[in-house]
Amino acid sequence: MKIRILLCDDASFIRDLIKRTLRKFLPQSEILEASDGKKAQAILNRQAIDLILSDWEMPGLSGEELLQWVRADERLQAIPFIMITSLGGKENIMKAVESGVSDYLGKPFTPEELMQKVSKALVKVGKLNMPRQDSAARGGPFSSLDILSGKGDTLPGGSAEALTGSARAKEAPKLKGTALVQWQQSEYKCMIKTISIEEVVLVSKRAERHPGVFEQLSLTLSPGNQTRLAINNINAYVHSCAAMEKREDSDFVQMLLRFTALDEEQRRQLSSFIIDNP
């Protein structure tokens, strides 16, 4: 049975990560993409959809406004709607619930968390059979952290430890927030994999150009815990960089950046960041 999923997020990097997870664990799915709420409306008006995954903050029509529009339309109101967002405060969750959201997933998230939400929604509307109890033991979607965490996509050298030089990377931890890398005239949106007071490991989508080893750049770090503000203008250099998979067409890159010339305020902010995102 084909499952049509509408994925709405203005960040192409996030859409690519979600698509990769869905295609891995739901190969029978057809994924339609929209970069904002208006484009999602156009798709919903012309195509039958089984599940909607939407970001909250988008230009033009927001995820909340899209949700309200869907629930107000008799043709669409029964479609499961999962809100995926970094706005994880109680007030935001209550707004989504009041608007009729089916489920809520906070950024950053793991493939396991995503597939638990997606599977639950699809089972509820009869688009997916109830998973067997031993699925986790077989390495199914309820136990896999391989895509975003890097646990399954082995890095050159045999493990994530080869890149980070740190035993903590063996644990393949949950992603801890987002980062904006500014280098020369380019900007990269990345996910934070691990972080300490001295360095950060980032995962980004492959681009035409990447900063090389020892190149200087600037970072803005946004924690997964949205009660904290972003940390701006952090200077760093590229200590190492590697493809996430052992193939030349790997879609994702992992970079280890070491901080330079941190002032006292930045050190204080980083310490709070690390405590709040263990």
The pLDDT of residue 89 is: 56
**Residue 172 pLDDT level (bands cut at 50, 70, 90):** very low
* pLDDT at residue number 208: 83
Neighbours of 151 (CB within 10 A): 19
Chain centre distance of CA 60: 21
For residue 181, name the pLDDT band (cuts at 50, 70, 90): very high
Taking only the tens place, the pLDDT of each residue in 67-95 is 999 999 999 999 999 998 776 556 667 77
The predicted model gives 200-226 an average pLDDT of: 84
Token pair 């946004």 is found at 222
For the chain, what is the mean pLDDT? Answer: 78
Tell me whether the CATH fold assigned to 3-144 matches the one assigned to 150-276.
Answer: no
In this prediction, residue 168 has a pLDDT band, given cuts at 50, 70 and 90, of: very low
Q: How far apart are CA 181 and CA 207, in angstroms?
A: 13
pLDDT for position 209:
85
Distance, CA of 67 to CA of 93 (rounded, Å):
13
List, edge to edge, every strand of the sheet that includes 103-106. 29-34, 3-8, 51-55, 81-85, 103-106
* pLDDT for residue 175: 57
Q: Provide CATH code, domain 3-144.
A: 3.40.50.2300
On whether the CB atoms of residues 175 and 109 are closer than 8 A, the answer is yes
**3 burial class (0-12, 13-18, 19+ CB within 10 angstroms)?**
middle
pTM value? 0.53
The mean pLDDT of 240-265, rounded to a whole number, is 87
How far apart are alpha carbons 38 and 113 in whole angstroms?
Answer: 27
Neighbours of 92 (CB within 10 A): 18
* Average pLDDT value for residue range 180-204: 87
Q: Cα separation of 250 and 257, whole Å?
A: 20
Considering the domain 150-276 in this protein, what is its CATH number?
A: 2.40.10.220
144-176-18 Cα angle (round to 5): 45
Average pLDDT over residues 21-50: 93
Sketch the domain layout of the chain as residue ranges: 3-144, 150-276
